[in-house]
Amino acid sequence: MKKLIIATTVGLAITLVTGCAQHSVVRYGDATAVETTDINFGSTDLQKVAGEMTDSLLLSPVVGTLTQNKRPILFVERLKNKTSEHIDTESITDSISTKLLRSGKFRFVDMVRVEAAREQIKFQQDSGMVDTNKAVQFGKQVGAEYMLYGNLSSIVKSNKDKSDVYYKFTLRLMDLESGLVEWADETEIRKTKVKASVGW
């Protein structure tokens, strides 16, 4: 009888624990809400640097002149991550490119996809499966006139009570023909974490 009671009790306890473990709630959040999980580079920082730098570029008098009568063609070099963190710099690049393209002032060539494009054109030319009169020809693509490139760097300081991280994001626009840098700007972020005192 005691064994039956013990077995029943253990079974009930396992059922309750399993039921609690499997119960979770998923909610949608605001993608633009300030994210303060820790002091590492996060979604709010990505949105801040991409938004500020894009606005700065679009409002620049030099860029106003460049885009007055045409839509210059850019390519964006993947940003260099000079921090000690693993940061998805491609996401920053994508956000900047998307905002610039939406402005209607620029056109882009995607250097990341050049090899895939080459393979597709080669397939159209050599496979015998595509009507040669409708196949895309080699040597017809348009080259970029300007290159957008930049760096993300950080300085981290910490002691037993406080951690501080400073990020600097720099972006430049280069004229590929002349090699001249036509525009440059930078934005900064500082984040601090203080250890909570016991008893507060």
pLDDT at position 200 is: 47
- Is residue 148 within 8 Å of 172, Cβ to Cβ? yes
- Predicted TM-score (pTM) of the model is 0.73
Model confidence over 112-144: pLDDT tens digits? 777 888 888 888 888 888 888 877 887 777 888
Q: Which of 140, 142, 139, 60 is nearest to 108 (CA)?
A: 142
For residues 51 and 44, give the distance between their C-alpha atoms in angstroms, rounded to a whole number: 10
For residues 83 and 94, give the distance between their C-alpha atoms in angstroms, rounded to a whole number: 19
pLDDT at position 186 is: 94
- Is residue 73 within 8 Å of 109, Cβ to Cβ? yes
Helix residue ranges per DSSP H, 42-200: 43-59, 61-66, 89-102, 114-126
Residues of the chain where predicted confidence (pLDDT) is lower than 50: 200
- Is residue 151 within 8 Å of 172, Cβ to Cβ? no
pLDDT at position 195 is: 79
DSSP, collapsed to helix, strand or coil, labels residue 59 as helix
Domains along the sequence of the chain with CATH: 39-109+144-193 (3.40.50.10610), 112-142 (no CATH)
Q: Is the dihedral of CA 133, 138, 143, 148 positive or negative?
A: positive
pLDDT at position 129 is: 82
